[in-house]
Structure 1
Amino acid sequence: MLSETAYAKINLALHVRRRRDDGYHELETLFAFVDGGDRLSASPAEADSLVTHGEFASLIEDPFGNIVAKALSGLPHGKGWAVDLEKRLPVAAGLGGGSADAGAVFRMVERAHGLPDDWQARAARLGADVPACVLSTTCVGTGTGTELAPVQSDLAGTPVLLVNPRAAVPTGPVFKAWDGVDRGAMPSGSVREIALGGRNDLEAPAIVLCPAVADVLAALQFTDPFLARMSGSGATCFALYDEEAQRDRAAKKLAEKHPGWWQMTGSLR
């Protein structure tokens, strides 16, 4: 049996530069990954199958037509796999949940059979975040986010707190609500310098569609992180801390004040 964690993706910075003629957006983003997420396992079977369970499994509308099934069907992996998916990450949350699940499938196939030379193109066809989620290491993404340049991270091991107000925010409407203003390129430097000097251009449109994002960001700022920001198109926000004890105190404080919010603690990979 193979098993993999579908590591939660966060965007330490996300700069939207322009809307392209093909309808997609030109991006500059700094991907990072948390050391926790969904859990997948696979064992040989006569045909492919997928079983989902976990806190957020009920939000997957069509488990047999979802991105995990598509990843399986798009990769050589023998006769068949019986896949078990424990859905721990919220859906439509800015954490690359489905993309991370697909990325975990790619890594399992790589261990069992190796990946085809065009794996990155196959991953990109499933979604813009999927190639980065296959790697699940800190990298700069350009183009639509699929052109990747891995970077050494001086934030590896940094304590992180993820918080979601239990609101699903689909990506399409957030991009559609972006005002089209190019606010400049992502800065250069170390990962920490890019994160601190960067921004998320989707925060403002996401807050218009889901005001609770602003509440989460404000609550995180009061816990004294060195950075608090929305991830992706939301609604999940993250906070980075210098010490685990700070993160754990923040998690406890927010759980007491906002018991309805989802949260996850971890460290950056």
Structure 2
Amino acid sequence: MPVIETAYAKINLALHIQRRRDDGYHELETLFAFVDAGDTLTARAAEADRLQVRGEFVDALDDPFDNLVMKALTKLPRPGGIELLLEKNLPVAAGLGGGSADAGAVFRVVRDMHGLPDDWHTRAAKLGADVPACVDSVTCIGRGTGTELAPIKNDLAGTPVLLVNPRVMIFTPQVFTEWKGIGGGPLKGETAREIAMSGGNDLQKIVTEDLQILEVILALNSLSDTNPVLHRMSGSGATCFALYETNEARDDALREINTRHPEWWTLTGNLR
């Protein structure tokens, strides 16, 4: 029987940069959350590792066979090969941790089929800063470069969410390079809702004010017009999210966005 895993779309409900490290990376605090939709991985036991990729965004992958899915497989010891089919539904370089979410789903596939080594977190962190959080894909705090995880009371589970992307690719290093050393300070609050509502995204100011990426500004303004509880850019962009009180309010917002901007990519779901 195949093993099927969803690579849940990651969003940063809040992201505060603390400092630039000597190695060029940045210390940060972020509130990770995950939408109950994303890419899909279908796995079967095989004699050797194989990967097939399909979906709307397959052409955006520079080399589908050298992406984080295959790299994740090589990081995990197991007695046999795994054949994977990746349905690429999430846009690339979009602030959703798409590649990291795919890698996290690979870890869960291997966990279900063979179990994970005790040092799985270290192996995941070597693949990227978002990968450890994407393995369990639950709301949590990320510190350091994002790999140091801490639990948080998740009072946002089930919250309706709308994602929009104006089909612009923004590469993370481009945004972090522009950081001028002014951050939002420590995250404040005891629960996910408190932290999300009191926090912000330090990268959003860079994208909208310093880089002046007009498509992201338009996406944020468009979401604001739908009367959300909270709307913000995720990660380094260009995907923006909005949270709503009810599924009906979210679906009304989706119809409004689709009518005004039918060319945009959209995704609806609920926070895990």
TM-score band (shorter)?
over 0.9
Q: Return the match for 2:258 from 255, 260, 264.
A: 255
The change in CA–CA distance for 1:109 and 1:221 in structure 2 (over 3 A counts) is: same
Kept in 1: contact 2:153–2:190 (CA 8 A): no
Distance 1:119 1:153 in 2: 24
Kept in 2: contact 1:217–1:229 (CA 8 A): yes
Tell me which residue corresponds to 1:80. 81
Q: Return the match for 1:232 from 217, 235, 248.
A: 235
Q: Return the match for 1:211 from 190, 203, 214.
A: 214
Tell me which residue corresponds to 2:25. 24
What's the CA shift for 1:81? 1.0
Kept in 2: contact 1:77–1:112 (CA 8 A): no
SS in 2 for 1:202: helix
What one-letter code is carried by the residue in structure 1 that aligns with 2:195? I
| Superposed CA offset, 1:83-119 (max 9, x none) | 1000000000000000000000000111111110110
What's the CA shift for 1:209? 5.4
SS in 2 for 1:11: strand
Alignment partner of 1:266 is 2:272:
no
SS in 1 for 2:65: coil
| Superposed CA offset, 1:37-94 (max 9, x none) | 0000111112111100000011111111111000001102332111100000000000
- Ranges in structure 2 where 5+ consecutive residues have no aligned partner: none
Sequence identity (%):
61
Decide which moves more: 153-162 or 72-81.
72-81
SS in 1 for 2:220: helix
The change in CA–CA distance for 1:209 and 1:174 in structure 2 (over 3 A counts) is: farther
Task: After the TM superposition, list the runs of 4 or more consecutive aligned residues in structure 1 that deviate by more than 3 angstroms.
Answer: none
Count of matched residue pairs? 269
Kept in 1: contact 2:29–2:186 (CA 8 A): yes
Question: How much is the aligned-residue C-alpha RMSD, in angstroms?
Answer: 0.9
- Ranges in structure 1 where 5+ consecutive residues have no aligned partner: none
Tell me which residue corresponds to 2:63. 62
Kept in 2: contact 1:9–1:31 (CA 8 A): yes
Distance 1:153 1:218 in 2: 28
Distance 1:166 1:35 in 2: 21
What one-letter code is carried by the residue in structure 1 that aligns with 2:219? V
What one-letter code is carried by the residue in structure 2 that aligns with 1:254? I
Kept in 1: contact 2:163–2:239 (CA 8 A): yes
Tell me which residue corresponds to 2:170. 169
Distance 1:64 1:253 in 2: 38
Distance 2:60 2:174 in 1: 19
Tell me which residue corresponds to 1:179. 180
What's the CA shift for 1:179? 1.6
Distance 1:32 1:117 in 2: 24
Tell me which residue corresponds to 2:224. 221
What one-letter code is carried by the residue in structure 1 that aligns with 2:82? W
What one-letter code is carried by the residue in structure 2 that aligns with 1:102? A
What one-letter code is carried by the residue in structure 2 that aligns with 1:24? Y
| Superposed CA offset, 1:162-204 (max 9, x none) | 0000001011101001121133211122211100000000002
